[in-house]
Amino acid sequence: MRKEPIYYYDEKKDKFVVEGFEVLADFPYLLSNPEIDYKTFMHHLDLLKNEDKKYVYHLNIGTKTLEKYIDRVIESIKKHPLRENLVIEILEESHSKVDFFIQKFYENGIRISIDDFGTESANLDRVIKSIDFIESIKIDRVVWKNFTEIVKGLVESEVLKKSNIKIIAEKVETEEEIKKLISVGIRYFQGWYFKDLKTIVS
């Protein structure tokens, strides 16, 4: 199990702190198979049982997997000692039942993040439809790098502010990119920029 940190930029202290982690598969190319995806998800759940409760943990799962195993997944999360710390990232794959999956997780008190915003069906329509059910949006690198005004519009959206939805920029690599994202209001980040923690966390 690999864990990629998710950082929050504390503007008052001018430093980055770890908000949580995205849990990653060792062999992600295998996850297109629903059976392997399900087994990997359940394995990660088991490994997380003894993790620190001060962090949140994002776990990915595909829609084809949820179509077969959503009830088992929900029951396992509900019994998990860190259930309040778990956030599910649904890998949409343009599936027709995404809205159903999101609502079912919400009805069972399970936190949801929209992954890869700006690609495929992970778009503004999806966010608006799910506004009451999600806790965060993860913006793909292609989107924040090329469409800064869209990102700024999201940050300034009264609807998102009212719902306290976090906006997370993925795959950030340079200090210039960090400064650009902070300037438009982004406060949550993932990426290679943070590989040397000593240079950014005091």
- Between 111 and 195, residue with greater pLDDT: 111
Provide CB contacts within 8 A for 191, sequence distance 6+. 169, 170, 171, 172, 173
What single DSSP character describes residue 26? S
d(CA 73, CA 146): 36
**What is the per-residue pLDDT across 37-55, written as a single tens digit (0 to 9) for each?**
999 999 999 999 999 999 9
Res. 120 pLDDT band, cuts 50 70 90: low
pLDDT tens-place string over residues 149-164: 888 888 888 777 778 8
Choose between 145 and 95: higher pLDDT: 145
Which range has the worst mean pLDDT, 58-67, 115-124, 160-169?
Answer: 115-124
Q: What pLDDT, on a 0 to 100 scale, did the predictor assign at position 123?
A: 55
Q: Residue 157: exposed, middle, or buried by beta-carbon count in 10 A (0-12, 13-18, 19+)? A: middle
Contact, 98 vs 88, CB < 8 A? no
pLDDT, tens only, 130-139: 677 788 989 9
Quick one: which of 173, 196, 180, 168 has its CA closest to 20? 168
